[in-house]
Chain A
Amino acid sequence: MRFLLLIVAFLLLSSCTQTKKTEKESSLSLGTKHLFYTPAGKLYPNKSGKGRVGDNYIYAPNIRFPIESAPAYINSQVYGVGGMYGERGSLCDQRNYQYPWHDNYCESRSWGMPLCPSGKGHQGVDIRTATCEKKKYYAVAVENGTITYIGKYSVSLRGITGRTYRYLHLDSRTLQVKRGQKIKRGQRIGLVSDNMGNTKTSIHLHFDVKQTIVANGYSQRVFIPIYTSLVDAYKRLLRGNP
């Protein structure tokens, strides 16, 4: 009886500690390489929507980081400096190119998203490259797989796990892959740019991941929260074993 009470007390205590941890910034420093990031689901600024706070589950374990080299910055394009709802300024403002990372999965959008708390939101995350220069940094395959689709501004990779990874805004003229091509993890796909057909966007990679989840005896193919998987992948990239 006492033993059970002790276990209950321990579990309650550890869950409280976990909650506190999720509220603060985390970091990783390896010599000259660093990463500072805010927790999954904590969107920035607060007005940008409601994320999946507390969901630290790594939905796509062991994927490679989709940008070939560090640093890269996960943050909002819409609410960042120069964005549609962001502070006035240049999209190339240095504040867009610095840590900490901010999750932007579920950021306010008008379209339906089953896994967002509001039922609507951004399907993936936006990643800026090291500097505000287009056609300089490569997006790479996050796992072995096949290129299944190439459109005007999107490329889809189906990984061997069955997940579909979508890369948006790559420069279409310098793509390194063809439809149906089998590619290896880390292999170059294309250069990050601001391509969205004739529509203006900032220089960034929109990266989203679709997979099938079974619940209630029914399956749905949904865009999964990918931020935690990317934090994990980036740490491996910084350690030199992407």
Chain B
Amino acid sequence: MRTISTLLIAMVAFGVSLYAEGGLLSVEWTKSTPQQQKIQRAYPDVLKKGIAEVTLPVYLPKSHIFNKKMSIVSDPNYYAITLFFKGATLLISGDRTYQQKVKSGATQMKAMMKRTAMKFIHAEGMMTTDFNRNGVNYSLMMECDFPDKDKRCKESSFLQNIYNDLIIVGGKR
């Protein structure tokens, strides 16, 4: 009897693998980085206004904070900052929403969603990376006008430098 009941529960648990309900991730705020504390100048208006309502840490490469040509699209739970380079664009985005949760019994899905080391990926002619920081999710995406010739979209070094240069420039706690 007990075996049959266990079997039934296991079958139900494996049958459906995800919860469809989404929600908001908790932001794990950390102390300001040393780089952030050193910045004395006021941020440009485009940046101040663009991220005013965002409720997650906003990361931007330190070397581009005063780039007035950036474009920002945001809402309280998300931001997308585009930086423009000659022959390329860089998208930096952060997001604290989630759309689905894996159920405890869905072992196959859980294995696939295992935390792995951050990678720089060359896909569809672009160089990209995704990472989790402060409990929320961020992406960098580099797109080039000449994807098969431009090293910024073929090799990871350019994006790696952008990643290493990221600092928190805002976000409402």
Please, which residues of chain B bring their CB within 8 A of the CB of A168? 124
Please tell me if the beta carbons of B132 and A198 are within 8 angstroms of each other in the complex: no
Cβ proximity bits B92-103 to A, threshold 8 Å, 1 near / 0 not: 010101111110
Contacts of A59 in B (CB 8 A): 18, 100
Chain A contacts of B18 at CB under 8 A? 57, 59, 213
Least CB separation from A109: chain B residue:
B123
Q: Which residues of B contact A218 (CB under 8 A)?
A: 113, 115, 132
Contact with B along A85-111 (1 / 0, CB 8 A): 000000000000000000000000111
**Stretch of B34-42, B61-69, B143-151, B165-173 that contacts chain A:** B143-151
Of A57, A115, A197, which contacts B144 at CB under 8 A? A197
Q: How many A-B residue contacts, CB cutoff 8 Å?
A: 155
- Asked if B160 CB lies within 8 Å of chain A CBs, one says no
Alpha-carbon gap, A148 to B92, bound state (A): 11
* B52 in contact (CB, < 8 A): no
A213 in contact with B113 given A158-B80, A162-B97, A198-B147 (CB within 8 Å)? yes
Task: Specify which chain B residues have a CB less than 8 angstroms from the CB of A7 in the assembled complex.
Answer: 8
Instruction: Give the shortest distance, in Å, between A136 (CB) and chain B (any CB).
Output: 23
Bound together, the chains give a CA A123 to CA B109 distance in angstroms of: 17
CB of A154 closer than 8 Å to a CB of B:
yes
**Does A204 count as interface, using CB distance less than 8 angstroms?**
no
How far is A184 from B77 in the complex, measured between Cα atoms in Å? 20
Is there an interface contact between A11 and B11, defined as CB atoms closer than 8 Å?
Answer: yes
Closest B residue to A162 by beta carbon equals B97
**Pairwise interchain contact B113-A161, C-beta atoms closer than 8 A:** no
Note all chain A residues with C-beta closer than 8 A to B148. Answer: 197-199
Cα separation A215 to B132 with both chains bound (whole Å): 13
B82–A212 CB distance below 8 A? no
Which of B5, B25, B130, B146 meets A197, CB within 8 Å? B146
Given contacts A180-B73, A199-B125, A220-B113, contact A151 B91 (CB under 8 A): yes
B contact residues around A221 at 8 Å (CB): 95, 130, 137, 139
Measured CB to CB, the closest approach of chain A to B158, in angstroms, equals 15
> What is the chain A residue whose CB lies nearest that of B146?
A198
Q: Count contacts on B: residues with CB < 8 A to the other chain.
A: 56
Report Cα–Cα, A8/B95, bound state, in Å: 43
Is B110 among interface residues, defined by CB-CB distance under 8 A? yes
The answer, among A61, A163, A212, for a CB contact under 8 Å with B25, is A212
Contact with A along B123-156 (1 / 0, CB 8 A): 1111000101001110101011111110000000
A34 at the interface (CB under 8 A from B): no
| Chain A residues within CB distance 8 Å of chain B | 1, 4-5, 7-8, 11, 15, 57, 59, 61, 109-112, 114-115, 123, 146-149, 151-154, 156, 158, 161-164, 168, 179-180, 196-199, 206, 210-216, 218-222
Closest 4 CB pairs of A and B: A162-B97, A215-B113, A151-B143, A215-B102
Can you list 29 A-B pairs with a CB-CB distance of less than 8 A? A4-B8, A5-B4, A8-B4, A61-B20, A111-B122, A148-B93, A149-B80, A149-B91, A149-B93, A153-B143, A154-B126, A161-B22, A162-B22, A162-B77, A162-B97, A179-B71, A179-B73, A180-B73, A199-B148, A211-B98, A213-B100, A213-B101, A213-B102, A214-B101, A214-B102, A215-B114, A216-B110, A216-B114, A219-B136
Given A1-B1, A197-B148, output 17 extra A-B contacts at Cβ < 8 Å.
Answer: A7-B8, A147-B73, A149-B82, A149-B89, A151-B89, A162-B95, A179-B82, A196-B147, A197-B147, A198-B146, A198-B147, A212-B98, A213-B113, A214-B98, A216-B115, A219-B98, A220-B132
